[in-house]
Chain A
Amino acid sequence: MDKIRNFCIIAHIDHGKSTLADRLLEFTQTVTERQMQNQLLDNMDLERERGITIKSHAIQMNYKYKGETYVLNLIDTPGHVDFSYEVSRSIAACEGALLIVDASQGIEAQTISNLYLALGHDLEIIPVLNKIDLPGAMPEDVADQVVDLLGCDRDEIIHASGKEGIGIEDILNAIVERVPAPKGDPDGPLRAMIFDSVFNSFRGIEVIFRIFNGSIKKGDRIKFMNTGKEYDADEIGVLRLSQDPQQEMSAGNVGYLISGIKVAKEVKVGDTITHVHRPTEKAIQGFENVKPMVFAGIYPVDTTEFEELRASMEKLQLNDASLVWEPETSAALGFGFRCGFLGMLHMEIVQERLEREFDMTVITTVPSVQFHAVKTNGDITKINAPSDMPEPNTISHIEEPFIKAQIITAAEYVGPIISLCMDKRGLMKNQVYLTTDRVELTFEMPLAEIVFDFFDKLKTISRGYASLDYELIGFRRSTMVKLDVMLNGEKVDALSAIVHRDKAYEWGKRLCEKLKELIPRQMFEIAIQASIGTKIIARETVKALRKNVLAKCYGGDISRKRKLLEKQKKGKKRMRQVGNVEIPQEAFMAVLKLD
């Protein structure tokens, strides 16, 4: 056990985590040059394109240091605020962390929050300045930031470049020297923590775990303490480039478990694995059921594909346990699902995976957060969709989720960022200069306000340099109203939204304008109206189509024209009909593009 080192990497997106990880694997000859694919750890297409690690994995390396062979388990962590719980579990599986900071960019909000998490778990932090080869690198300035943050000595900071292979050996040596070996009793009762899972369509769910106490043998009867389910450990092993089955693994090590689990829901990140016959007394602390933060409807574009969509969602859920959903019916969109996501990125990923991996074309409705309707007797009704909103006279008030947002930015953007946050109903709580040029702003804001375009706006006004992290801090009373949209007098349920009363007029006006752009002219005039209750607050008109006839239709034109019109007719089938109005799919996403 004293030859094992478990560590993770804390880094902001684009600070070079994946490239650096590649170098560690190469240097330790865990992979050969030929096997090397860039950014090896991100093995989903989507991750590769987005440049972020979505699902965490682990990989084991052997490293010879002063004549001894050490086992280094690198535990990969997702780099987006949507996945912060998974990050916290990955961190809990380690004794040390590499803190990677881009020498040309400096420390970002995400990095800091994950660093605090790591410090909270008493991880040994090894600071690394990456990309020191870049002409724009400011190693001295960024080193100052790191020293300020960690209270470490300057000479503890390793200078590296993943791209150029600089500093790789220093990092590996530091991991062996500085990261403490795991503790625990190999002969005690089994206590292992699940920190990830991977779906394998042939073998079921592969559970990725870290053993804190005791040992596990192939064939052992085991139990997941939070779900209470029991399984046989059909196969256990360590994760090298491929799986490396083992007969026995003991305290301190990291590995995978296959026990024929079919459904990802049974495997909860943070859960404790123990033996059925000699269970540990205490489960590992910090387990949480992951709660969705953002809700939206997902509907098949072609209404006949509902069952196919259900099957796809079920398959998707096999390896994405954080996705929750239940069937929902919309007058405008037919049968679909109300889904809960960890955040907007998660929602986009689910939508993209449905399209890429399952070839489903879907309509996603206005995303919303969960509101609480507090009844006069104090009972709380959870509102995941505008249609859940009770009549105003039956409730005392509405509460909405608030977050604490930490934004780190260059000083010159502080003004615009404060106005943006104020505009989003934010309350400024703190402003700290991390260095002379970097400022940390703390706001309390309604989650609903950051769901839509806050992050994009933040990036735009700060030219990409501001970073954001947030955590939920509870529900607060707010004057929320349900805003409906009507087309020729018919309510389009899928376009309803719950918005703050002060913003409802602006919202209604802009939504009507946007819909006017997106709804094509049809054979009659279309009135677009936004209303709160029975009160119309905005109106736009799509004028009737006046002309759709080609002038010439002689011998050579007929078939060509028929084909053209048949194609148009097919295209129209993708539109949704409400009353007599045909609505293109994009219209249902209009709310996301109100600017």
Chain B
Amino acid sequence: MAGIYIHIPFCKQACHYCDFHFSTNLSYKSAMVQAIMTEAALQKGFLKEHKIKTIYFGGGTPSLLSSQELELILNTLAKNFDLSQVGEITLEANPDDLSREKLTELKQLGINRLSIGIQSFHEPFLQMMNRAHTAQEALQVVDHARAAGFDKLSIDLIYAIPHADHTIWQKDLAIAMSIDPGHISSYCLTVEPGTALGRWQTSGKFEASSDDFAADQFELLLATMDKHGYEQYEISNFAKEGHHSQHNSAYWQYIPYLGLGPGAHSFDGEQRQHNISHNPKYIKSLQADLIPATIDHLSPSDQLNEYILTSLRTKWGTSLEKIANTWQITLDLNKIHNFIQDQFLSLEHNTLKLTPKGRLLADQIAMELFVEDMV
């Protein structure tokens, strides 16, 4: 089992919170598509015998590509990889790019899942974050997508945006529920260095919400999701029956993936590699048939810690059996015992899972369970 990720590093404008790799200079677009196609051909052996099940266009803003450009990429993939078992092709999209016409074209390309960057239905928040769409567009887009035949829809929502109280978040959640998407990804507003918010925080123009405020909103989110029949299958991801993101689930279950495009990451089970996060350099390198990647070899303890970090976030949990079999090691049983006693973790069928209380502290708990260098 494996997946292919394609990073489309362009945006119309920079969202004030985003630290992913993108450029607002769209003049490289067609050269970029060519370069990604070249990389796909060069990397056709990367996933070895693993069967490819998912394709994911992420960004940046993949919906900025024309249908023709997307088609070129998909055709190249088909030429170089066995896509016969692919069941999920996702495209991240912004509401302002999704005209009815575009939606129909995307559907015709075989894209069967849309992840729509709505973020909020509150106009002042959208403006504060420098999103390109309006609240009105956000409301309409899901209807239009359904009309075009998309039944697998995910929307992104951001919480813990500074505000005096939780009313706007509650309203956002209520609207989201009325739209009834099959999948919701919801992220805490995080201030990253190098973003506009990061600079404003340094200069005192912006102040992030307190952890307590964010935790309260996270709990509101969990309660709403639970009430409306969504399963929290990962810290930030919620799905109704049959709507889980297969592609993203692979990241948390130690399944290999190939990343194409500048800044994209790949993983083959033992090493991770990532491409240079610079559009012209990426293009130039691929024009010479060279993949500008940095390889990060993972030591056994790196691998194990990454397994703990990611698997613990999911409903499937961390398998102690898998750890014993793969890395021949047992985790700190004392710590595990204490976490179970304090109701941060549960242990069933030799698998550790976070309790609802533990989910707010997932990173802390993962860190405590990390192993040090293994010989």
Contact = CB atoms under 8 A, between A and B. Distances in A.
A458 B91 CA distance: 68
Given A547-B215, A547-B360, A551-B190, A524 B310 contact: no
A554 B257 CA distance: 11
A429 interface: no
Contact of B310 (A548, A556, A558): A558
A550 B212 contact: no
B360 A549 contact: yes
Contacts of A228: none
B211 A562 contact: no
Contacts of B309: 553, 558, 561-562, 565
A548 B370 contact: no
A559 interface: yes
A523 interface: yes
B5 A548 contact: no
Contacts of B20: 556
Contact of B367 (A551, A553, A556, A565): A565
B236 A562 contact: no
Give the most central of A523, A545, A569: most B CB within 10 Å.
A523
Contacts of B274: 556
A548 B363 contact: yes
B306 A562 contact: yes
A35 interface: no
B361 A555 contact: no
A234 interface: no
A32 to B, nearest CB: 51
Nearest to B214: A547
Nearest to A556: B265
A173 B180 CA distance: 99
A568 B367 contact: yes
A325 B337 CA distance: 42
A552 to B, nearest CB: 6
A307 interface: no
Interface in B243-278: 248, 251-252, 257, 259, 263-267, 272, 274
Nearest to A565: B367
Contacts of B298: 559
B361 A554 contact: no
Contacts of A558: 251, 265, 267, 272, 306, 309-310
B218 interface: yes
Interface string B300-311: 001001100110
Given A551-B236, A565-B370, A566-B370, A556 B263 contact: yes
Nearest to B58: A554
B212 A546 contact: yes
Contacts of A547: 211-212, 214-215, 218, 360-361
A524 B263 contact: no
Contacts of B264: 555-556
A556 B5 CA distance: 11
B362 interface: yes
B187 interface: yes
Contact of A553 (B188, B251, B302): B251
A548 B187 contact: no
B362 A546 contact: no
B187 A551 contact: yes
Interface in A567-593: 568-569
A558 B313 CA distance: 12
Nearest to B236: A551
B370 A553 contact: no
A508 B103 CA distance: 68
Contacts of B302: 559, 562
B15 interface: no
B367 A554 contact: no
A429 B77 CA distance: 93
Give the most central of B211, B252, B363: most A CB within 10 Å.
B363
Contacts of A562: 302, 305-306, 309
A551 B251 CA distance: 14
Contacts of B236: 551-553
Contacts of B342: 523-524
Contacts of B211: 545-548
B265 A548 contact: no
B57 interface: no
Nearest to B188: A551
A529 B238 CA distance: 43
Contacts of B364: 523, 545, 548-549
A552 B362 CA distance: 12
A556 B251 CA distance: 9
B305 A566 contact: yes
Interface string B196-224: 00000000000000011011001000000
Contact of A549 (B266, B296, B310, B359): B359
Give the most central of A552, A554, A555, A558: most B CB within 10 Å.
A555
27 contacts: A523-B361, A545-B361, A546-B212, A547-B214, A547-B218, A548-B361, A548-B362, A548-B363, A549-B360, A551-B190, A552-B187, A553-B234, A555-B251, A555-B259, A555-B264, A555-B265, A555-B267, A556-B20, A556-B264, A558-B265, A558-B306, A558-B309, A559-B306, A562-B309, A565-B363, A565-B370, A566-B305
Interface of B: 5, 20, 186-188, 190, 211-212, 214-215, 218, 234-236, 248, 251-252, 257, 259, 263-267, 272, 274, 296, 298, 302, 305-306, 309-310, 313, 342, 344, 359-364, 366-368, 370
Given A550-B190, A553-B234, A561-B309, 13 more contacts: A524-B342, A545-B361, A547-B214, A549-B362, A553-B251, A554-B248, A554-B251, A556-B20, A556-B274, A559-B296, A559-B298, A559-B306, A569-B367
When A and B form their complex, which 7 residue pairs have the shortest distance between CB atoms, in order from nearest? Answer: A551-B187, A548-B364, A546-B215, A549-B362, A547-B215, A556-B265, A565-B367
